[in-house]
């Protein structure tokens, strides 16, 4: 009986996938399609449909999504003769966008969650969020939100999630490089938020705005990450009750005088972390890295065996 139920479920899933439509968008005159802007294609699509955006030299206008959509681009660093990417000027997730997948895009102006919305099962993966990050309108309930395998250079912040409730928020295998802004900024309390296997770079000394964690950041778990730059300002007492487990922290110039993972409000837990050791990337400048820098690890890197499972910390997916 169980086998029959499983077979029926698989057949139903396959039927739904076959039924789903693909809407192609292009503002590239060399590749004309029925839709020249993403919003028109999204409006025409039904829940569960896919919208594929062709690479172009011209940026696409921003789009608002209020249904389940699979939004695909050609990738942020395509390895082919035609290297055009699909750049969109911001994506807004509204109520009803549950289950949406965003992949293969270059996103400026960020991914924004509309105010007073309850949104679940959002996946943002393999994008370049250039000069942008994630914004929350306030009073949101965000459940099962995954940010995976993205490059966020000069952006990648999670801005001021005022009164936002996070249930199961995963940030994994990303490169987050913010030279002049923090990674998390604002009121952020969630014991179901996990930052795992990321490279996080804010290699600028100075005021609190150059530290990755500022404002109220509480009960967040950071594990198997590589941090390059200052971590927590001693004056940022709102960073507390966080757990830092099997991370590596390094300063390009100078050294930490004490464990940087116990800073902030002094109520943070530091477990099996390494600091003042160079992670030894293959080819990635520690100041002002590029989206296509090589963040793989050289032989002999302390990060190769520093993770909680004995493997490598940081991002190794590309």
pLDDT score, position 4: 46
As beta bridge partners, residue 88 has 60, 107
Distance CA 258, CA 254 (A): 12
**What's the CA angle centered on 124, arms 141 and 139, to 5 degrees?**
15
Let me know: does 147 contact 158? Beta carbons within 8 Å.
Answer: no
pLDDT score, position 78: 77
As beta bridge partners, residue 238 has none
In Å, what is the CA distance from 87 to each residue of 38, 61, 124, 233?
11, 9, 15, 35
pLDDT score, position 203: 62
Containing 11, the helix (H) or strand (E) segment is: helix 2-19
The alpha-helical segments, DSSP class H, found in the chain are 2-19, 38-44
Distance CA 304, CA 300 (A): 7
DSSP state of 121: E
As beta bridge partners, residue 269 has 243
- Spell out the domain ranges in the chain: 133-305
23: burial class by Cβ within 10 Å (0-12, 13-18, 19+)? Answer: buried
The pLDDT tens digits along the chain (318 residues) read 434 444 444 444 444 555 589 999 999 888 899 999 999 999 999 999 999 999 999 999 999 999 999 999 999 887 666 679 999 999 999 999 999 999 999 999 999 999 999 999 999 999 999 877 898 888 899 999 999 999 988 766 887 666 889 999 999 999 988 766 678 877 788 899 999 999 988 865 444 446 788 778 889 999 999 998 877 755 556 788 899 999 999 988 888 888 888 865 568 899 999 999 999 999 988 877 778 888 889 999 999 998 998 888 886 654
Q: How big is the chain by its Cα radius of gyration, in Å? A: 20
pLDDT score, position 234: 53
pLDDT score, position 104: 96
Closest CA to 316 of 297, 290, 293: 297
pLDDT score, position 11: 45
């Amino acid at each position: 009986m169980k086998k029959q139920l499983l077979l029926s479920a698989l057949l139903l899933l396959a039927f739904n996938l076959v039924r789903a439509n693909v809407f192609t968008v292009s503002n590239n005159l060399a590749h004309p399609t029925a839709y020249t802007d993403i919003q028109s294609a999204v409006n025409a699509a039904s829940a569960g449909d896919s919208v594929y955006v062709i690479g172009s030299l011209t940026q696409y206008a921003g789009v608002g999504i209020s249904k389940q959509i699979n939004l695909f681009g050609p990738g942020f660093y395509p390895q082919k003769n035609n290297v055009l990417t699909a750049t969109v000027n911001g994506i807004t997730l509204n109520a009803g966008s549950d289950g949406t997948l965003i992949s293969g895009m270059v996103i400026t102006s960020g991914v924004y969650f509309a105010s007073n919305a309850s949104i679940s099962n959002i996946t943002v993966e393999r994008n370049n969020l250039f000069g942008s990050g994630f914004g929350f309108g306030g009073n949101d309930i965000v459940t099962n939100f995954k940010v995976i395998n993205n490059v966020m250079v000069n952006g990648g912040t999670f801005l001021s999630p005022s009164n936002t409730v996070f249930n199961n928020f995963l940030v994994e295998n990303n490169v987050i490089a913010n030279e002049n802004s923090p990674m998390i900024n604002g009121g952020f309390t969630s014991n179901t938020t996990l930052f795992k296997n990321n490279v996080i770079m804010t290699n600028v000394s100075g005021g609190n705005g150059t530290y990755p964690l500022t404002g109220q950041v509480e009960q967040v778990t950071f594990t198997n990450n590589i941090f390059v730059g200052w971590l927590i300002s001693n004056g940022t007492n709102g960073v507390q009750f966080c757990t830092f487990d099997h991370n590596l922290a390094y300063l390009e110039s100078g050294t930490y005088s004490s464990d940087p993972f116990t800073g902030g409000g002094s109520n943070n837990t530091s477990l099996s972390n390494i600091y003042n050791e160079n992670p030894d990337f293959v080819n990635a400048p520690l100041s002002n890295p590029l989206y296509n820098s090589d963040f793989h690890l050289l032989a002999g890197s302390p990060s190769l065996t520093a993770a909680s499972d004995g493997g490598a910390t940081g991002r190794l997916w590309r």
